[in-house]
Structure 1
Amino acid sequence: MSAPPALAVENVTHAFGKVTALDQVSLDVPRGSFTALLGVNGAGKTTLFSLITRLYDNVTGSIRVAGHDVRRAPGPALARIGVVFQSRALDPGLTLRQNMAYHAALHGIGRAEARERGDALLARVGLIERADTPVAALSGGQVRRVEVARALLHGPQLLLLDEPTVGLDVAARRDVVRLVRALVAEDGVAVLWATHLFDEIEATDRLVVLHLGKVLARGTAAEFSGGAALADAFVAMTGTAPEAAA
């Protein structure tokens, strides 16, 4: 029997009052894969992430992480997820090591093991030499790399990243994308990467197009674009003006 996917979302609907944010959304993220969740602001990407991570309660459909239902077995499900939210989550007054240690404690990781894991991950993201530097002294791109390292501390199978490159310059964006893709290729981490930026998606990536709360397409980016530019295919399907989707 094959192992369940890292993430399986089936027929999930969510509303805020009379406004439907997600409408019968289904998607999956295979283990060890990079899946891009493409949609403009307001598509429902952050709402979906909030349901997966139990910030909101899903009352319709099902969400499973490595086979564990997030509603019925939240402990095992959430233990397998690492998250980088769009908003910054590190304490700017603490050093990189202190931030890592604090997060490790939340996962019940002992101090010695936390130091070992934290330093290894800071080295992995190229920031071990800044381990005793306050987060406030880092650039935006460096902060994002530390957030990725922190999200990996407890050894998750699934990494969720919600618009992780927003506000970064071109070089910093490239560094974050390369880092996350290396985690997929070298460590077998499954990634769900939410974005509205077409140049962050490669032709062979698994792609889910989310628009106005509905999944409009699933498959590879190449299959979706059909030989056209990804942006052109997206605009043709959604009717969204390029400047709003770029």
Structure 2
Amino acid sequence: MRAAGPAAAGTADPRARSGEEVRTPAIDVRGLVVRYGRVTAVDGVDISSPPGRITALLGPNGAGKSSLMGVLSTASRPDAGSVRIFGHDVRQAPTAARRSLGLVFQERTLDKELSVERNLWFHARLFGMRRADARERITLMLDLFGLADRRRQPVEELSGGLARRVEIARALLHRPGLLLLDEPTNGLDPSARGAVWADLTRLRDELGVTVLYSTHYMDEAEYADEIVIMHQGRVVRQGSAARLKSSLDSSRIVVASGDDRLAADQLRAAGFHPLTEPDGIAVHCADPEGRIADVVRALDVPGLTVSVRHPSMNDVYLAVAQEKRVGTP
């Protein structure tokens, strides 16, 4: 991958060219409120991201993710609070904010009848790029995403995964520092999903692009450096995947056998506190790898299999949902 990338100009900060450390956040959301009539869709949200970080927005339908993305993209205006993209306030300087970000929507927005290259040229003209600069950027983006041999191919002939790559390439054409993606792998097969995430992590690692995306796939949240879980317009959990999972006391040894009742009796006799779970008998402990030998020694049952399970993002998500059902703050 070539070093001259979209992040270089995305900060829109002259200090970057002088070598001075840039401290301006890529995203800075403070006390954001978005209302639709009497309905509050986003209720006092605070989110901040330095340049070069991938952030995931996770939450059920109606959590406020789309409303937050709408304000970040400058498509809608906040009712209260402030939102800045590389220091540009989306209300006071929407044009500057818009030039600092690239957008990839959930629904396909390419012109299917045009070629890959013509779709990119259309975007370049939309952003007022000079012809020579646009030609150089289009060539770079096509090379970067492995699309050079498809530049004259109509978009309607591309697979869903390749079309998504074209949309990401188009979003980066004008050198934004921030890439916003709404459900970026929706409708793609597992192979195409993997390719999209390989592209996005490469953009962060090699070009320093800041990425914020919304998703309902638990496994996709783990690609992010920071995960923001929203519920009813508020941020209810925030942190890295490792931090969020470590907050749950659910690391466990899972025992499956031909006689789970006998296995549970034997574990209790050995001083453990087994719990019946859908996939077997579980012994919850902070260090399951260190206790697995003790568990095995305590058991004398037919068809024994023993495994170690650690919390997943799905466990985190389910724990949040359970807390909200019972009204835990």
Tell me, yes or no, whether TM beats 0.5: yes
Q: Does the alignment pair 1:236 with 2:319? A: yes
List aligned pairs for 1:198-209, cutoff 5 A: 198-202=218-222, 205-209=225-229
- Quote the sequence identity (%): 45
CA contact (8 A) 2:228 2:237 kept: yes
Secondary structure at the aligned position of 1:239 is classed as: helix
Structure 2 Cα separation of the partners of residues 168 and 30 of structure 1: 29
Q: Does the alignment pair 1:159 with 2:140? A: no
Look up the match of 1:243: none
Secondary structure at the aligned position of 2:214 is classed as: strand
Q: Does the alignment pair 1:219 with 2:236? A: no
Q: Does the alignment pair 1:180 with 2:200? A: yes
Give 1:68 deviation, angstroms: 1.1
Give 1:204 deviation, angstroms: 6.8
Structure 1 Cα separation of the partners of residues 34 and 60 of structure 2: 18
Of the three residues 51, 57, 65, the one matched with 2:71 is 51
Structure 2 Cα separation of the partners of residues 69 and 204 of structure 1: 25
Structure 2 Cα separation of the partners of residues 3 and 75 of structure 1: 22
Look up the match of 1:9: 29
Structure 2 Cα separation of the partners of residues 158 and 54 of structure 1: 13
Does the C-alpha gap of structure 1 residues 133 and 203 become closer, same or farther in structure 2, counting only changes over 3 Å? closer
Does the C-alpha gap of structure 1 residues 150 and 203 become closer, same or farther in structure 2, counting only changes over 3 Å? closer
- Could you state the TM-score of these two structures normalised by the residue count of structure 1? 0.93
Between structure 1 and structure 2, the one with the greater Rg is 2
CA contact (8 A) 2:111 2:155 kept: yes
Structure 2 Cα separation of the partners of residues 237 and 89 of structure 1: 34
Q: Deviations over 1:76-127 (max 9, x none)?
A: 1111001111111111111111000000011111223212211210111111
Of the three residues 110, 135, 153, the one matched with 2:155 is 135
Q: Deviations over 1:120-161 (max 9, x none)?
A: 101111111110011111111111100000000010011111
User: Which amino acid letter does the alignment assign opposite residue 233 of structure 1?
Assistant: V
Structure 2 Cα separation of the partners of residues 74 and 203 of structure 1: 29
CA contact (8 A) 1:97 1:115 kept: no
Structure 2 Cα separation of the partners of residues 239 and 82 of structure 1: 36
- Report which stretch shifted further, 145-154 or 17-26: 17-26
Number of residue-to-residue matches in the alignment: 240
Of the three residues 128, 133, 140, the one matched with 1:120 is 140
> Structure 1 regions of 5+ residues with no counterpart?
241-246
> Structure 2 regions of 5+ residues with no counterpart?
1-20, 247-309, 324-329
CA contact (8 A) 2:104 2:167 kept: yes
CA contact (8 A) 1:101 1:111 kept: no
Q: Deviations over 1:38-66 (max 9, x none)?
A: 11222221111111122111130000011
Q: Does the alignment pair 1:76 with 2:96? A: yes
Give 1:229 deviation, angstroms: 1.2
User: Which amino acid letter does the alignment assign opposite residue 25 of structure 1?
Assistant: V
Does the C-alpha gap of structure 1 residues 55 and 111 become closer, same or farther in structure 2, counting only changes over 3 Å? same
CA contact (8 A) 1:203 1:222 kept: no
- Could you state the TM-score of these two structures normalised by the residue count of structure 2? 0.70
Secondary structure at the aligned position of 2:80 is classed as: coil
Look up the match of 2:12: none
Q: CA RMSD in A?
A: 1.5
Q: Does the alignment pair 1:196 with 2:196? A: no
Give 1:239 deviation, angstroms: 2.9
Structure 2 Cα separation of the partners of residues 239 and 97 of structure 1: 48
